[in-house]
Amino acid sequence: MTGALGLRIGACLLCLGFACRAGEDEEIVREASATSSPFARLRFAELHDLDGSGGASAGDHVVLGLRRPLAPRRVIALDDLGLAGSAARWGDGARLSATPGESEIRVVLGEGPRLSLEGTYRPGSHGDTPAQLRTAAGAVPILTAAAQRRAFAGDRFADSPELRPFYGQLHSHTSFSDGELTPVDAYANARRYGLDFFAVTDHLEQLTPESWEAQLRAARAADEPGAFAALSGYEWGGFPTIKGWMNHVNVVGTERLLSVAGTLTLRRLYEGILALPEATVIGQFNHPGMQHPVFGGNNWNGFEHHADADRRMRLMMVETRSEKGEDNRDHSGYIPALDRGWHLAPKGEEDNHRASWGHTRKRTGLWLADLSSASVLAGLTRMATFYTDDPEASLKLRADGEWLMGSTVYGDGPHRLEVEVAHRTRAALVTSVEIVSVGGAVVARRENERTPVRLKFEVDPRTDAYYFARIVLEGPDDRMISAPIFVDR
**What's the pLDDT tens digit per position in 197-238?**
999 999 999 999 999 999 999 999 999 999 999 999 999 998
* Per-residue confidence (pLDDT) for residue 28, from 0 to 100: 29
* Per-residue confidence (pLDDT) for residue 98, from 0 to 100: 87
258 vs 139, higher pLDDT: 258
Mean local confidence (pLDDT), 355-378: 97
Mean local confidence (pLDDT), 129-136: 85
In whole angstroms, what is the distance from residue 2 CA to residue 462 CA?
11
Highest mean pLDDT among 78-87, 333-342, 409-418 belongs to 333-342
- The Cβ-side half-sphere exposure at 151, using a 13 Å CA radius, reads 16
Mean local confidence (pLDDT), 75-100: 88
Does 161 score more than 90 pLDDT? yes
Does 247 score more than 60 pLDDT? yes
Alpha helices in 276-372, H assignment, sequence order: 300-303, 334-339
Does 112 score more than 60 pLDDT? yes
pLDDT tens, position by position, 261-289? 999 999 999 999 999 999 999 999 999 99
* Per-residue confidence (pLDDT) for residue 38, from 0 to 100: 56
* Per-residue confidence (pLDDT) for residue 100, from 0 to 100: 86
| Residue 91 neighbours by CB under 8 Å, 6+ apart | 56, 58, 109, 110, 111, 112, 113, 114
Grouping H, G, I as helix, E, B as strand and the rest as coil, residue 365 is: strand
Q: Which of 32-36, 123-127, 353-357 has the lowest mean pLDDT?
A: 32-36
**What's the burial of 223, exposed, middle or buried (CB within 10 Å: 0-12/13-18/19+)?**
middle
* Per-residue confidence (pLDDT) for residue 41, from 0 to 100: 72
pLDDT tens, position by position, 31-49? 233 344 556 678 899 999 9
Does 375 score more than 50 pLDDT? yes
Look over the chain and give the mean of its residue pLDDT values, rounded to a whole number.
Answer: 90
Amino acid at 390: D
* Per-residue confidence (pLDDT) for residue 304, from 0 to 100: 96
Q: What is the CA radius of gyration of the chain?
A: 23
Does 245 score more than 90 pLDDT? yes
In whole angstroms, what is the distance from residue 196 CA to residue 391 CA?
11
How sure is the predictor about 119, in pLDDT bands with cuts at 50, 70 and 90? low
| Residue 188 neighbours by CB under 8 Å, 6+ apart | 222
pLDDT tens, position by position, 171-207? 999 999 999 999 999 999 999 999 999 999 999 999 9
Q: What is the DSSP letter of 201?
A: E
Does 120 score more than 80 pLDDT? no
With a pLDDT cut of 90, the percent of the chain lying above it is: 76
* Per-residue confidence (pLDDT) for residue 8, from 0 to 100: 38
Q: Which region holds residue 308: left if phi is over 0, alpha if psi is between -120 and 50, else beta?
A: alpha
* Per-residue confidence (pLDDT) for residue 19, from 0 to 100: 30
- Beta-bridge partners for 246: 298
pTM of the model as a whole: 0.89
Does 29 score more than 80 pLDDT? no
Does 91 score more than 60 pLDDT? yes
In whole angstroms, what is the distance from residue 238 CA to residue 477 CA?
29
| Residue 426 neighbours by CB under 8 Å, 6+ apart | 451
pLDDT tens, position by position, 444-475? 999 999 999 999 999 999 999 999 999 999 99
| Residue 198 neighbours by CB under 8 Å, 6+ apart | 168, 169, 170, 172, 186, 187, 190, 191, 228, 229, 230, 231, 357, 358
* Per-residue confidence (pLDDT) for residue 417, from 0 to 100: 98
* Per-residue confidence (pLDDT) for residue 33, from 0 to 100: 36
* Per-residue confidence (pLDDT) for residue 86, from 0 to 100: 67
**What's the burial of 436, exposed, middle or buried (CB within 10 Å: 0-12/13-18/19+)?**
buried
Provide the 10 A C-beta neighbour count for residue 66.
18
* Per-residue confidence (pLDDT) for residue 67, from 0 to 100: 85
